[in-house]
Amino acid sequence: MADSQTIQKLERLAADCRVDILTMLEQAKSGHPGGSLSVIDILVALYFHEMKQDPQRPDWEDRDRCVLSKGHGVPAMYAVLANQGSIPKSELATLRQINSRLQGHPDRVAFPWAEASTGSLGQGLSIAQGLALGFKLAGKSSRAFCVLGDGETQEGQIWEAALSAPKFKLNNLICFTDNNNGQIDGHVDEVMDLKPLAEKWRAFRWAVHEINGHDFGEILGALDKARQEKEKPTMIIARTVKGKGVSFMENNIGWHGVAPSAEQTQKAVAEIRGGKR
């Protein structure tokens, strides 16, 4: 169990990242605030606490990998990388600009910290599974993490990977589902209902944990359990809130892919800095 000091540190980092997300989207005049704000706590936990990595060496061979399958949430990853010193904070202002490394979806060629180009939804779990299998075959201790959106879990390729990962006993594959119940066309349970989601993954022979995706104690606790798993891949279903931390964005599908204005950003930042999570 993580101590309170660790959790408070992660909460402060997540707040800083939320401010960076909103600021860069407002400057870019486009992007995806809702899913970036819902996933940020997960990414902060991974990058600042869980993963084996070197912020200055994105090509370190023995690093853990994180595949952000829900690629439209990449502003959250950029914010995390800027706050850990991998990229300069000033570069966040180039989001979505021509010739910028920080495109609206991860570009593996231009941006070495992206483990995969994931603009097309549904492919990230297969990529992460391939990485995990490669580590096993090479006798490496590295692990592959994957972050899915619940909406993209409607894709058939997700379930092909779900079926095959347990066959190879990939206990070094840990996946999160950012379960915010929102996608571009509406609420997930109205577009294509996934329930019962946890039971589906258990039926595919994964180790499954259901958590509050904004509670660092629960996030780190689930990661502890995943680390102890001996044979199965792990699925952590994180119940999250689309637009978390900003009252007028929370659970509002309209904020899936619309950037805030300068006035809205100022209001949102004031909320976050005021500790309203």
* Tens of pLDDT, residues 182-228: 999 999 999 999 999 999 999 999 999 999 999 999 999 999 999 99
What is the domain-level CATH number for residue 172?
3.40.50.970
pLDDT at 208: 98
C-alpha 84, offset from chain centre = 16
pLDDT at 277: 42
Which residue range is the domain that position 210 belongs to?
4-273
With a cut of 70, list the residues of the chain below it in pLDDT: 1, 275-277
User: Residue 147 pairs with which residues in a beta bridge?
Assistant: 68, 176
pLDDT at 2: 76
**Interatomic CA distance for residues 179 and 67, integer angstroms:** 17
pLDDT at 275: 62
| C-alpha pair distances (Å), 25 with each of 75, 76, 251 | 8, 11, 18
Domain count, the chain: 1
pLDDT at 195: 96
Q: Is 48 exposed, middle or buried (0-12, 13-18, 19+ CB in 10 A)?
A: middle
pLDDT at 276: 46
Nearest by Cα to 67 from 152, 160, 8, 5: 152
